[in-house]
Amino acid sequence: MIIALKPGVSREDIIKLTSDLENLGVKVDSSQGASQIVLGLVGDTTVINDEALRANHLVERVIRVQEPYKRANRAFHPMDTVLEFKSGDKTAKVGGGSFAVIAGPCSVESREQLVSVAEAVKKSGAAFLRGGAFKPRTSPYSFQGMGCEGIDLLVEAKKATGLPIVTELMEISQLELFEDVDMIQVGARNMQNFNLLKELGRSKKPILLKRGMASTMTELLMAAEYVMAGGNSRIVLCERGIRGFDNFTRNILDLAIVPALKKKTHLPVIVDPSHATGLSWMVPAMSKAAIASGADGIIVEVHNDPEHALCDGEQSLTPEKFENLMGVLRKYAEIEGKTI
C-alpha cells in the first residue's frame, strides 16, 4: 500500500503516522519525492482501514498495490477451479477444457414448452438446461415468472432429459425450493445483494454469478469472495453485458473481461450473449466471439416460439438456429482445444 502525503506535512506528523501504522503490524518505508513524501507499507495491509486513512488530513492519496480478493485470486490459487455435474450418464463440466453450453427458455411457461425446448437443446448438444421460474422484471406489471411451479417443471425436465438445471434465485427465502436445482443463478441486479451472497456461501450448491450492470471486474471478484468467504468455492462467473451509452444492443458485451478474469482468478468464466445483445440474430456471432475470447461456456436463450414468448422473445434463438450455432461452435472448440 502506497500513501502519498500532502505537501508540507511536518516531520512530527510523519513520525506519528508512521508509528500508528507500524503499531498495526506493517513496516513503513518513507521516500522523499520531488514535492511530497511517499510512504510504502509492507506486510499484511488488509488490517489497514484505508477509508479512514483517506480521511486523514495528512494524506493526499492512498493506492493499494495488492488485489483485495484472496480466495478468488489466482496468485494464491493457481489451479483452475473445475465444476462437475451429473448430466444423464455423463459428466458435464464447467472449466477444465470444457466448453459448457447452458441453454433453455428465458422463463418457464408450461410443461410442453419446457420439455420441448429441453429435448431440443439436449439433442443439439447443450450440457445444461436453463429456465427462469422467478423473474426479475423492470415493471411490476410484467409477467413475474411461474415461481415454485416453474421450479417443479424444471425438475421434471431434468428427470426427462438428464440435463442438470440452472435457474435464478431472487431472495434468500426461496432457497429451500432450490434443493433439486443443480446450479443457482445470481442475477446481475443481485450481484451486490451481500446478504444473499453470504447465505449462498453457507450453501453447498454451485453458483452462477452474473456481473452487475455497472460493476467493475474487481467488484465481481469481491462478490465471488463473499460467497467463498462463507466456504463455497463452486462459482462460475458470467459476463452478461454492461450498461452503455448507445442502444443498438441492450447492453455492451465486454468480452475482454474473459481473458482478464482468466488471468486474475481460477474460477471458470462464461458469457451470456442473449442478455448482452438482446437480439437473437446477434447471438451466434457473439457466441463464437465468446469461445474465441477464451470463455469456458455460454448461457443462451432458446425458445420454441420466440414470437409468443412471455419474456425476452426478441433475444431467443429457435431450436433450429441453436442447432446451427452448435455446429459452428464445435469447429471453434476444436481449434481452441476444448470439448463441447
Q: Which of residues 58-97 bind its own copies (CB under 8 A)?
A: 61, 63, 65-66, 68, 75
Hey, which residues between 24 and 43 contact its own copies (CB under 8 A)?
29, 31-36, 38, 40, 42-43
Q: Taking the complex as a whole, how short is the minimal distance between the CB of residue 220 and its own copies, in angstroms?
A: 10
Q: Does 123 bind its own copies (CB under 8 A)?
A: no
Interacting span for its own copies (CB under 8 A) from 79-87, 125-133, 158-166, 168-176: 168-176
Tell the smallest beta-carbon distance from residue 119 to its own copies (Å).
22
Nearer to its own copies, 151 or 163 (CB): 151
C-alpha to C-alpha distance for 43 and 58, rounded to whole angstroms = 22
**CA-based nearest residue to 129, from 188, 191, 182, 189:** 182
Least Å distance, CB 89 to its own copies, is 31
Phi-psi map region of 184: left, alpha, beta (phi>0 left; psi -120 to 50 alpha): beta
Closest approach of its own copies to the CB of residue 116, in Å: 17
- 199: Cα separation from own chain's centroid: 17
Minimum CB distance to its own copies smaller for 182 or for 239: 239
Residues 176-215 that bind its own copies (CB under 8 A): 189-190, 192-196, 198, 212-214
Among 155, 229, 321, 323, binds its own copies (CB under 8 A): 229
- Residue 261 near residue 95, CB atoms below 8 Å: no
Question: What type of residue sits at position 256?
Answer: A
Q: How far is the CB of 188 from its own copies (least distance, A)?
A: 9
114 strand-pairing partners: none
Query: Does 23 contact its own copies by CB under 8 A?
Result: no
SS3 per-residue string spanning 26-59: CEEEEEECCCCEEEEEECCHHHCCHHHHHHCCCE
Cβ neighbours of residue 2 closer than 8 Å, sequence gap 6 or more: 38, 39, 40, 41, 61, 62, 63, 65
Q: Which of residues 303-322 bind its own copies (CB under 8 A)?
A: 306-314, 316
Greatest alpha-carbon pair distance for the chain in Å reads 77
The C-alpha atoms of residue 60 and residue 217 are separated, in whole angstroms, by 26
Select the span of 49-57, 88-96, 115-123, 156-164 touching its own copies (CB under 8 A): 49-57
Cβ 118 vs Cβ 88: under 8 Å: no
- Cell numbers standing for residue 278: 438482446
Query: Is 140 one of the binding residues for its own copies (CB under 8 A)?
Result: yes
CB of 74 to its own copies, least distance (A): 12
CA–CA–CA angle 128, 257, 188 (5° rounding): 60
Give the integer Cα–Cα distance in Å for 268 and 236: 5
Q: How far is the CB of 27 from its own copies (least distance, A)?
A: 8
Choose, by CB under 8 A, the member of 180, 320, 328, 339 that binds its own copies.
Answer: 328
Site size with its own copies, rule: CB under 8 A: 105
Side-chain-side CA neighbours of residue 84 (13 Å): 4
Partners of 132 in the β-ladder: 107
Chain position carrying cell 448482452: 276
15 binds its own copies (CB under 8 A): no
**147 lies in the binding site for its own copies (CB under 8 A):** no
Of 86, 148, 172, 180, the one binding its own copies (CB under 8 A) is: 172
**Helix or strand or coil: residue 340?**
coil
Report the residue from 12, 51, 176, 179 that binds its own copies according to the rule CB under 8 A: 51
Residues 265-304 that bind its own copies (CB under 8 A): 276-277, 280-282, 285-286, 288-294
Residues 230-259 close enough to bind its own copies by CB under 8 A:
242-246, 248-249, 252-259
